[in-house]
Chain A
Amino acid sequence: MTDPMPAFDSPYDEAEFLNRLEGDRELSDEITHLFLDTCPKSLAELQSALGEGNLYMLGRLAHGVKGSVGVFAAEACFAAALALELAGRQGNLGAAQEAWARLKGEMQRLTAALDERLAGAARCESL
């Protein structure tokens, strides 16, 4: 049996994601749902912390997002969240704004891919 190949431009690594869950597809679907459900709130909190200039809070929130996307082996998203976390810790507003823009984009790509993943899983189940 071969590992599922990640799509060339996929924002996350499906094989590594599954590997981190010891191949448990049911759990992978549950985690995906959980992530997609909580994602809008996480982004709204980040936006709000940045808007208030609360860089300490921004760093903490970005740390949490970094942990969540880490499960999916979503490298670009992880890197953007890490950059935002560091900018927050260092109190660097300019770097934080730049990292936030990157993270928003990467999160959009990731959530879209994960939505598609769940839709695919649902299609398979209905067959």
Chain B
Amino acid sequence: MRILVAQDDLAHCRVLQNLLAKWGHEVEAVCDGDQAWQVLQRPDAPSMVVLDWMMPGMDGIDVCRKLRERKRDLRPYVILLSGKGQKADLIEGISDGADDYVTKPFDPDELRVRILAGERILNLQIESLTIMEALRKQASHDYLTGLPNRATIMDMLRRDFARGPRHGQAVSVVMADVDHFKDINDTFGHQAGDAVLTGVAKRMAVEMRSYEIIGRYGGEEFMAVLSDCDTQGAYAMAERLRRAVEARPFELSTTSVPVTLSFGVASTAEIRSATQETLLQLADAAMYRAKRAGRNRTECALKTTGLALLP
């Protein structure tokens, strides 16, 4: 494990460096609280710190308090190693944010097992954070394609609607539907259908910029939310996605399947009074128009009878 030693007393600092290295840890050492705080702010900060209480600049307790104030999932485990040996000191040290307290001069065996206990707690923390992250992903992403699910893209759309108009930014929606998907399922089986959906999702996801989002809306339907993007921009993006999928057939285990999608685009750039629901309906209507017009194409809402949906 990587451990930061912050001790202003050179002898103790050296002893700690030596012992911790001997116990198999990777040690970084500093001699005051300010330097310790700097190291602990780094993204690659050590996960444990053996911290002296009384140091020049920020003292150990200041560092503990600042660490507790920080909004981060995983804080370093702090062992306060101090010459202050009163019960009141221990209570103050742990109350103010240290995870453990060892008095100087310390017994190496005791310090070693306390580090071990700290390591166990850190591992548990990492494990629960990993599980939480997996659950978060499971709740927000589609299990088959790995794309954001409907709830997530709808959230994104809500957020863009809350923010976009205030800053004069247009919000655009692109709806996409795999052409003749039922035929793919019926001809090649549902596994092949799943493989096609996964492949389509992958091809479209790589075309998106980091600030744009595409998700699985349901069945063989996908939806993209484009922030600060007008109709022309949204149309260009839809065409890019369409071409990316059309470019080459999908190679399944026994056969090669050409796949296309039909796209519908709607944007608040031109339909300023549109609500989220209206925008979705308009994009959906445009997408069905693309279907009727022969599939594998993109249609924009303004050309559709969908305009009648507007209040």
Residues of A that sit less than 8 Å from B by CB:
19-22, 24, 27, 30-31, 34-35, 38, 60, 63-64, 66-68, 70-71, 73
Give the top 7 A-B pairs by smallest Cβ distance, nearest first: A70-B105, A67-B83, A67-B9, A31-B11, A27-B18, A68-B11, A22-B108
Report B35-75 CB contacts with A as 1/0, cut-off 8 Å: 00000000000000000001000000000000000000000
Given contacts A38-B10, A64-B9, contact A21 B104 (CB under 8 A): no
Residues of B that sit less than 8 Å from A by CB:
8-12, 14-15, 18-19, 22, 54, 83-84, 104-108
A20-B106, A27-B15 are known; give 20 further A-B pairs, CB within 8 A: A20-B108, A21-B18, A21-B19, A22-B19, A24-B22, A27-B18, A31-B11, A31-B14, A34-B11, A35-B11, A38-B10, A38-B11, A64-B8, A66-B83, A67-B12, A67-B104, A68-B11, A70-B104, A71-B105, A73-B105
What is the bound-complex CA distance between A22 and B14, given in angstroms?
A: 14
What is the bound-complex CA distance between A38 and B14, given in angstroms?
A: 14
Chain B neighbourhood of A35, CB < 8 A: 11
Least distance between A81 CB and chain B CB atoms (Å): 9
Closest to A21 in B: B15
Could you pull out 18 A-B pairs where Cβ atoms are within 8 angstroms? A20-B15, A20-B106, A20-B107, A20-B108, A22-B108, A24-B18, A24-B22, A27-B14, A34-B11, A34-B14, A38-B11, A60-B54, A63-B83, A64-B9, A64-B54, A67-B83, A68-B12, A71-B105
Chain B neighbourhood of A66, CB < 8 A: 83
Closest to B106 in A: A20
Least distance between A28 CB and chain B CB atoms (Å): 9
User: Is A30's CB under 8 angstroms from B9's CB?
Assistant: no
What is the bound-complex CA distance between A31 and B19, given in angstroms?
A: 13
Chain A interface SS verdict (over half): helix
A-B CB contacts (within 8 Å), total count:
53
What is the bound-complex CA distance between A30 and B10, given in angstroms?
A: 11
User: Is A34's CB under 8 angstroms from B83's CB?
Assistant: no
What is the bound-complex CA distance between A27 and B20, given in angstroms?
A: 13
What is the bound-complex CA distance between A1 and B15, given in angstroms?
A: 24
What is the bound-complex CA distance between A60 and B83, given in angstroms?
A: 11
User: Is B9's CB under 8 angstroms from A68's CB?
Assistant: yes
Closest to A32 in B: B11
Chain B neighbourhood of A24, CB < 8 A: 18, 22
What is the bound-complex CA distance between A120 and B22, given in angstroms?
A: 26
What is the bound-complex CA distance between A63 and B12, given in angstroms?
A: 13
Closest to A24 in B: B18
Closest to A85 in B: B83
User: Is A22's CB under 8 angstroms from B54's CB?
Assistant: no
User: Is B22's CB under 8 angstroms from A22's CB?
Assistant: yes
Chain B neighbourhood of A64, CB < 8 A: 8-9, 54
User: Is B12's CB under 8 angstroms from A71's CB?
Assistant: yes
Chain A neighbourhood of B108, CB < 8 A: 19-22
Least distance between B55 CB and chain A CB atoms (Å): 9
Closest to A66 in B: B83
Residue from A21, A64, A67, A73 whose CB has the most chain B CB atoms within 10 Å:
A67
What is the bound-complex CA distance between A20 and B105, given in angstroms?
A: 8
What is the bound-complex CA distance between A22 and B109, given in angstroms?
A: 9
